[in-house]
Chain A
Amino acid sequence: MQHSPILIIIIPLICALLTPLVGRISRDLCFYWAVSALTASVVFSVVTLKRVLESGVIHYYLGNWSPPWGIEYVVDHLNALMLVLVATVALIAAIYSKKSIQREFGRKTAFYTIFLLQSVGFLGIVVTGDLFNLYVFLEIASLTGYGLIAIGEEGALLASFRYIIMGTVGACFYLLGVGYLYMVTGSLNMADVAALLPSLHTSKVVQVAFAFFMVGVAVKMALFPLHSWLPDAYTRAPSSVSAFLSPLMTKISIYVMIRILFTVFGQDFSFRMMPTATIMVWLGIAAIIAGAFMALAQTDFKRMLCYIIVAEVGYMVGGIGLANPIAIKGAILHLLNDAVMTLGLFLVAGIIVYQVRSHMISDFRACFRTMPFTMTAFVTFALSIIGVPPTGGFFSKWYLLQGAMIAHNWVFVTALLGSSLINIVLFFRVIEIGYGFKTLGDGHSDHEEKTVVAEAPVSMLLPALTVAVAILLIGLYNQPIINNFIQFAVPHP
């Protein structure tokens, strides 16, 4: 079990390489192949998590070269939790993709190869303790992401192309940051760079490197003024792909931002010497307001969810920018919650696309009657996004709110509460249409409803319900999660 951190990555990688060969035997086998690879990944990430809980931070030297000469994997409490999250989301999205990809794309061999590579990219970003290694896996994750988005519905190619332009600029900025840091420290290992940096805090090279890191990561996470690639890309992507990418890409970028802020540069530099905190809070507020209002203007369900993601990114960035332990705890808990909620909402969106063949809100008519289980899951996620008590969303928002009050940032408080109110409007509009109140007088509706009767297939419904239970469990166990994992990631002033 000493090798568990590398096995999380290497099993899906080798399975991805073998998928084209498996596809030669039988195309349908690829699905089971991908699911078993990701199951192994989940198992090893849970093993790693257990090891971290029992014996603290794990260091794994690749090629047995000690850092800073070689590459090192560092698993602490935060990324152990992230690993389990990423691997589980990938597994759920893979199980879910069985039916939907059959209809939406059909060429399963290539799809599952790329799908597994995408998981490898995400997991590799999370597990590494080396700045350049992170870039390499960021590249794997981005490249495969562009490909997966491009196979979606009409207009997906163009959306993917815009994403390529933006994403490449973001990755390029990150790489520039790595280069500048290497120039003044001579090291790529995160811990080593962190140890060398304090004597260099006044160096202009370090300041420029920091700025490039932040902008690069902000593009990848679709922080408000740089979000323009996100809505098109995730709306046009096939449903299982948007369910896989949308919870992870933005959240992993936020994880990278946390690493850069606290692990590499340290909070003394990030928050006291640079005006990062103020910029982050105001960008966060702008993202929350802009995201909420733009979501309000959408008639397309998936597009509405995309703008909700933009607003949610604002919560987390703003929360970290408030720079007090409670707000940062809230932001990290929200990272976990938001990944689960977004996954759930896109799963529901995918089910509705599968059954109704449309993702316009107006086509949700009478969905409650025909698909009661799906819509129950939907209501759970909606309540969590709004922030209603038993769900996970409430607790993270509560921490963020408390943090904002401690920081006396009343604008953030107002934005947070205001966007929750807007979320109520957003989701109740969908629920209202789903109940069919608006179509009572419509003569055509009876005729149309006969074509849509069945509940979703089990392979799609079960993941959605599992995620719905998960969001409730995260809500109930928020205190143990914070005490056992998140509090270790929060820097104490």
Chain B
Amino acid sequence: MIHNSTDVIIKTVARIFIPFIQLYALYVIMHGHYSPGGGFQGGVILGASLILLLITHGERVAMQRISENWITILFSLGVLIYAGIGTLCLFFGGNFLDYGVLAPLLHVSPAAARSLGILGVEIGVGIAVMSVMVSIFYNIARSGPYRNKGTTARRES
């Protein structure tokens, strides 16, 4: 069990920073076409913002925002977006992951369709990385011999 921090400075700083971190994460994902970045990096930053929320405001608050069930669904969804775009290309007569054939669907030239395909898979990667980071952190934090030590310490104090 991760508890709500009792330190006002930590909580305030986290509350101010989290929206900016998330905005920056989205920028990194979306701007992967033009500058260093992309799904992996953006996903990690997004995950970090949620982990920051988790360790400063405690499990209960964080899990109200995004529950463990949702995280599990999200990391299936992320990879599914990637594999789904790839499979969609099969139905349009191309090879797997051949985004160019999606051009008629998106009403753009094949090269532009490839660009959009890249954006789509980057978003998928971002979602998958974000949710897996949070899930791994949450699972490791909640299991093991020290899992309940926090609770007893609080009760005693």
Contact = CB atoms under 8 A, between A and B. Distances in A.
Within the complex, are A and B direct neighbours (CB within 8 Å)? yes
Contacts of B27: none
B73 interface: yes
A14 interface: yes
Contact of B83 (A3, A10, A64): A10
A21 B100 CA distance: 30
Interface in B81-137: 83-84, 86-87, 90, 94-100
B96 A18 contact: no
Contacts of B21: none
B72 interface: yes
A6 B83 contact: no
A63 B80 contact: no
Interface in B43-88: 72-73, 76, 79-80, 83-84, 86-87
A20 B99 contact: no
A18 B73 contact: no
B98 A64 contact: yes
Interface in A18-33: 18, 20-21
Nearest to A71: B97
Contacts of A10: 83, 86-87, 96
B79 A63 contact: no
B72 A20 contact: yes
A63 B97 contact: yes
Given A3-B90, A10-B87, A17 B79 contact: yes
Nearest to B117: A63
Interface residues of A, number: 14
A488 interface: no
B147 to A, nearest CB: 17
A61 B76 contact: no
A111 to B, nearest CB: 14
Given A3-B90, A10-B86, A64-B94, A18 B100 contact: no
Interface in A47-86: 60-64
A3 B87 CA distance: 11
Contacts of B86: 10
B150 to A, nearest CB: 24
Nearest to B83: A14
Contact of B99 (A6, A60, A63): A63
B30 to A, nearest CB: 22
B97 A62 contact: yes
14 contacts: A3-B95, A3-B96, A6-B95, A6-B96, A10-B87, A14-B83, A17-B79, A18-B76, A21-B76, A62-B98, A63-B95, A63-B97, A63-B99, A64-B94
Interface of A: 3, 6, 10, 13-14, 17-18, 20-21, 60-64
